[in-house]
Homo-oligomer: A and B are copies of this chain.
């Protein structure tokens, strides 16, 4: 289990949208990409990520398309939508504001 579940849980959605804003991808690869990016800070489980992807789709932040890989395997690709990009931008801004506040509070402690 992750040592900082609470810290991490915050921006699951934001992180997924960030990854998809770079380029469309399918679920299984998204999970690997994010966990690699996390560099040990956390490891996301399939049971966590897939439901979030489904929710993002229901909310219209991403759309999906089944595609067949060269291997013959079927993959469900996720594409970020315009709405999704908007949500990502807004979320990133909120994140920055929140971070600023946390930092300010921290600095107050040894000033």
Contacts and interface: CB of A to CB of B under 8 A. Distances in A.
Interface string A38-80: 1101000000000000000000000000000000000000000
Contacts of A83: none
7 closest residue pairs by CB, A with B: A10-B10, A18-B105, A21-B109, A4-B94, A99-B99, A92-B106, A7-B10
- Protomer copies: 2
B9 A6 contact: yes
B101 A37 contact: yes
- Pick from A6, A99, A106 the residue with the most CB of B within 10 Å: A106
A92 B7 CA distance: 10
Contacts of A13: 6
Size category of the A interface is 20 to 34
Contacts of A38: 101
Interface in A85-99: 88, 91-92, 94-95, 97-99
A14 B7 contact: yes
A7 B95 contact: yes
